[in-house]
Amino acid sequence: MIASLRAESLKTRKRWANWILFGILLLTFILLGYVLTYVVLSNPPRNFESRVPARILKREVFPENLIPNMLSLTSTIGAAIMIILGGLSTASEYGWLTIQTILIQKPSRRAVLLGKLAMLAIVTLLVSAGILAATALTSYLLVTIDGSSSSWPSATLLLKGFGALWLEFAVWTAFGMLLGITFRSTAAAIGGGLTYLFVGEALLAQLLRNTEGVKEVLRFLPGVNAAGVNASFGLTFRNLNATTQLVDATRGTITLLAYLVVFTVLGLLIFVRRDVGGS
Amino acid sequence: MGLAQGFAVETSGLSKRYSTGVLAVDDLNLRVRTGEVYGFLGPNGAGKTTTLRMLSGLLRPTSGGATVAGGAPGSPGSLTRMGAMVETPAFYPYLSGRDNLRVVARYAGVPTSRIEPVLRQVDMTDRAHHKFRTYSTGMKQRLGVAAALLKDPALLILDEPTSGLDPQGTVEMRELIKELRHGGRTVLLSSHLLNEVELTCDRVGVIAKGKLVAEGTVDELRARSGGSALLVRATPLDQAQRLLQSLLLASQIQVRDGVFSLAVDPAQAAAISASCAAPSSRWRTYSCN
């Protein structure tokens, strides 16, 4: 597995697509989650209506709300980018047929995929750290520019928030990786993953969340569970109970961990057993 | 490098039926002796690549088994002692040739100090820093051979190594294959070109429709069949037939399943292909029996 991990690290570092994805992710978190929110709420349009005044709402981007604000983008753009990352890491090997080149070297198939999984775990950890650092810096700059005062979340909260971010990124990356192995096509893996995310999770879960029966099914979806985890880090000026989540943070965390294990094991089983090449 | 005396590759009743129902390899019994260059000859679709994929552990046989370089196909023990280029040389397009070999070396657990010698061996040192995506077919093939040589394997499997090469590239690749056998290395070479295996191989196994139909030296096979025939696949069929009839006697031409069997010396292959080449037709000369 170590040999495979070393090979993966070289491939991952030198692949521009990975750096571009990270750049998009970083920019989206900073621009959408912080800069644009701050600009709009600092100068609210005339028809702006909210029960909470804009001057309070803009505290969303200040350090006291670092974790909930950062996590608010994790289940949408964050999940999408990580599905693409996971899909690219496995499906490209089939597209370029490099899977053949890899598998006729020394390591077993299991070691090859475990090396890839270990690399993806490291990448998601580094991406999470990068996102946390960049959003913290942006938040600090904005509160400084605003001339307001704010406090940083406690170390425990920061650690929990970082854990939630990494877990959610890891689950979506593993989902993309599984789709890549299953479909053996980059387009199908990414297309399938994004369709599930934006139609299955975002649309259906929102539309049918109050429909009895369906609600029970929704409680098992990864996105719904991620939302449950994210909601536990409430904004300081909002009541935690204001938005009803289908699952609480504990159930959400356990379900996400279960998904991580299931996606990984399924990916391994398919990768180890299936023929490579031929028709 | 180095294998025990005996067979570097031995298959027993090896068969592969795809999920589509196609029986690609049918009860194949193949024996490649240690230290020889063995030509695996057959037309496209005969089952050569499927066989090599099974020997490399990429495909699971439907039935039968094989021993490759002293181990089960695809086992770490077998893979350590074999190098292979199966079908198209496949590498990461965004990496240079040298970085691609670095990746392969890391997977194989081979020291990176092996990279420069194999690049020199395949004459790729000058272009090794260029991205793989910029390589010509010949360069890709040579990089594929370099990757297969990284482990300094006792058994080298090369699938159609001259496929897509220009005449100069073909000559160079053949010379390279001849060099690769030095030091007692076993080479299993698949090809659809008789003259290729004739020039490079000690023994030949002929595969047709997934079955091994003949095995021996080229001379033995010729003697056994009592003559020779050149097999030509050409399209459009009617146009090809008219062209052949203008060059040969009608008794020399037979058509079966869209393949022409010409009662001529295989050495005439190039001349016939050249005479018959027309912008609208596609010619492929591939075998003899």
Q: What is the mean pLDDT of residues B109-132?
A: 93
Output the DSSP codes for A5-16. Answer: HHHHHHHHHH-H
Closest CA to A256 of A183, A186, A155, A173: A173
- The pLDDT of residue B1 is above 90: no
The answer to whether B221 and B39 are in contact (CB under 8 A) is no
Q: Please answer yes or no on whether B86 and A105 come within 8 Å at the CB atom.
A: no
Give the residue with greater pLDDT, A242 vs B92.
B92
Q: What is the pLDDT of residues A57-71, one digit of tens each?
A: 888 899 999 999 999
Specify the CATH number of the domain B7-223. Answer: 3.40.50.300
State both tokens at A195.
């369709």
Q: Which of B68, B104, B107 to mutate to test the interface with A (most CBs of A within 10 A)?
A: B107
CA distances, A83 to each of A156, A188, A216, B150, B243 (Å): 28, 12, 25, 34, 56
Determine contact: B74 vs chain A, CB below 8 A. yes
pLDDT of residue B162: 86
* Top-confidence residue, B24 or B240: B24
* Residue B289 confidence (pLDDT) above 50: no
Percentage of chain B beyond pLDDT 90 is 45
pLDDT at residue B4 is higher than 60: no
Kindly state the tokens that stand for B25: 């390899």
pLDDT at residue A272 greater than cutoff 50: yes
Q: Which residue has tokens 């996105």? A: A223
Instruction: Output helix, strand, coil percentages for chain A, rounded to the nearest 5.
Output: 75, 0, 25
Burial (CB < 10 A; 0-12, 13-18, 19+), residue B238, is exposed
Domain residue spans of chain B: 7-223, 227-287
Q: Is residue A279 part of a domain?
A: no
Task: Look at the block and give the residue holding tokens 């496995």.
Answer: A90
Which residue did the predictor score with more confidence, B262 or A125?
Answer: A125
| pLDDT of amino acid A238 | 60
Residues on chain A touching B104 (C-beta within 8 angstroms): 7, 101, 105
Q: Which residue of B has its CA nearest to A99?
A: B90
CB contact under 8 A, B107 and A7: yes
Tokens of A1: 């597995």
3-state SS string for chain B: CCCCCCEEEEEEEEEEECCCCCEEEEEECCEEECCCEEEEECCCCCCHHHHHHHHCCCCCCCEEEEEECCECCCCHHHHHHEEEECCCCCCCCCCEHHHHHHHHHHHHCCCHHHHHHHHHHCCCHHHCCCEHHHCCHHHHHHHHHHHHHCCCCCEEEEECCCCCCCHHHHHHHHHHHHHHCCCCCEEEEEECCHHHHHHHCCEEEEEECCEEEEEECHHHHHHHHCCCCEEEEEECHHHHHHHHHHHCCHHHEEEECCEEEECCCHHHHHHHHHHHCCCCCEEEEEECC
Across the interface, do B107 and A96 touch by the CB < 8 Å criterion? Answer: no
Please give the tally of structural domains in chain A. 1
Q: Which residue of chain B is at minimal alpha-carbon distance from A93?
A: B92
User: Which of B82, B92, B109 lies closest to A98 in CB terms?
Assistant: B92
| Residue burial A201-238, b: 16+ Cβ < 10 Å; e: rest | beebbeeebeeeeeeeebbebbbbbbbbbbbbbbbeee
By C-alpha distance, which of A195, A183, A171 is closest to A263?
A171
Best of B106, B112, B131, B132 to disrupt the A interface by mutation (most A CBs within 10 Å)?
Answer: B106
Least confident of A263-272, B168-177, B237-246: B237-246
Residue B288: predicted pLDDT: 43
Residue B282: predicted pLDDT = 60
Q: Are the beta carbons of B50 and A4 separated by less than 8 Å?
A: no
Q: What does pLDDT average to over chain A?
A: 90
Q: Indicate whether A154 belongs to any domain.
A: yes
**B267 falls in which pLDDT band (50, 70, 90)?**
low
Answer whether residue A219 is part of any domain: yes
User: Is B16 close to A278, i.e. CB distance below 8 A?
Assistant: yes
Asked if the model's pLDDT at residue A181 lies above 70, the reply is yes
Which residues, in sequence order, are CB contacts of B5 under 8 Å at separation 6+? B34
Give the closest of B49, B95, B107 to A14, CB-based: B95
Beta-carbon separation of A278 and B88 below 8 A:
no
> Which residues in chain A are contacts of B84 at CB distance < 8 A?
104
Say if residue A34's pLDDT is above 80.
yes
Q: Would you call B58 and A279 a contact, using CB atoms and an 8 Å cutoff?
A: no
A102–B76 C-beta distance less than 8 A: no
User: A195 falls in which pLDDT band (50, 70, 90)?
Assistant: very high
User: Chains A, B: CB contacts under 8 A, how many?
Assistant: 99
Distances (CA, A) of A244 to A116, A199, A210, A247, B277: 38, 21, 11, 9, 75
User: For residue A184, what are the domain limits?
Assistant: 2-273
Do A101 and B147 make contact, defined as CB atoms within 8 angstroms?
Answer: yes
Q: Nearest C-alpha of chain A: how many angstroms from B107?
A: 5
Interface-testing mutation among B81, B85, B92, B99, with chain A (most A C-beta atoms within 10 A): B92
Average pLDDT, chain B: 84
What pTM was estimated for this model as a whole? 0.83
Q: Three-state SS for A62?
A: coil
> What pLDDT, in 10s, does the model give residues B223-236?
665 555 677 777 77
Contact A279 B18 (CB under 8 A): yes
Within a domain: A278: no
